Homo-oligomer: A and B are copies of this chain.
Amino acid sequence: MKAKAGDLVFLYNSEKARFLVTYQPGKRVSTHLGEIVLPDDLEYGAAVRSSTGAVFYVLMPSTSDIAMKVRRTTTIIYPKDAGWMILEAGIGSGSKVIEVGSGSGSLTIMLARIVGPEGRVYSFERREKFLENARENVKRAGLLDRVEFALRDPAVEGFGVEDVEAVFVDVPEPWTMVPPAFEALTGGGAWISLSPNIEQVKETWRTLKSHGFVRFKAVEILEREILVREHGVRPRERMISHTGYIVSARKVNIPPEEASEIVEN
């Protein structure tokens, strides 16, 4: 398969020399291993050499690569967490989902890749600078056609969208998004939030319970890298050991007081 002008391509020499660039024929890319000139005809899987002779492979970036390589103005959501969230929310091609806040757009990109051109991601952010950065990151990933950004605080103004399948929440006070999420979700739809602290998990759980959500879960996902070498295999010595706790729940159309009677842990 050939790269088209505008495609994001991943130039890969090693984990320490890898670059995510937008392809244009003749484009020059400066790296610490010399300059790379992208040819007019660029085949995925091919190798190009930099001016110093270093070999770079032309790879299709994975969704994880694009999400991790956004320009960061905030902490980002990691693929290990996003993968679980996406399958738990049950979304796929054609889904309509909400995200709040946009952050640096890393989750936006992963959601946009999954819902596809037939789907829709409504992404809310109340800080203009962050929203602009997120939009730039999504645009660079070529996914802007399926994402609508809104500068707004949904805790105050609501989401203004209806019948979405899932609401993804990554704000410091996720519980403030429970009432607007209840309004925006279709019956049986999914609440998914991510928070670093236990107190946030507990307060979110309390609020969900008292607002007609059921099937509460809280999990933590850990990713451990394994070093594979001929002389010995072992886990890497250091790892990112905490990003956040994921909370999920489902909206139901019944009065909260009834819900709290019925549902237990």
Q: Kindly state the separation between the CA atoms of A143 and B55 in the bound complex, as whole angstroms.
A: 42
Interchain CB contact under 8 A, A228 and B265: yes
Contact indicator B205/A263 (Cβ below 8 Å)? no
- Residue from the list B83, B110, B243, B250 in contact with A57, Cβ < 8 A: B250
Measured between alpha carbons, how far is A223 from B221 in the docked complex, in Å? 5
Q: How far is the CA of A78 from the CA of B139 in the complex (A)?
A: 32
What is the CB-to-nearest-CB distance from A156 to chain B, in angstroms, rounded to a whole number? 23
- Which of B79, B83, B202 is the one whose CB lies under 8 Å from A82? B83
How many A residues touch B, CB cutoff 8 Å? 102
In angstroms, Cα B221 to Cα A222, docked, is: 6
Identity of the chain B residue whose Cβ is nearest the Cβ of A197 in the assembled complex:
B232
What are the residues of chain B within 8 A of A237 when measuring CB–CB?
240-243
Choose from B45, B116, B224, B231 the contact partner of A187 (Cβ within 8 Å): B45
With a cutoff of 8 Å between Cβ atoms, the chain B residues found around residue A200 in the complex are 232
CB atoms of A62 and B46 under 8 A apart: no
Please indicate the chain B residues that have their CB under 8 angstroms from the CB of A117 in the complex.
93-94
State whether B62 touches A87 (Cβ < 8 A).
Answer: yes
* A196 contact from B119, B222, B234, Cβ within 8 A: B234
With A93-B116, A263-B14 as known contacts, state yes or no: A187 contacts B241, CB within 8 Å. no
Q: Which 4 A-B pairs have the closest CB atoms?
A: A45-B187, A83-B83, A93-B116, A197-B232
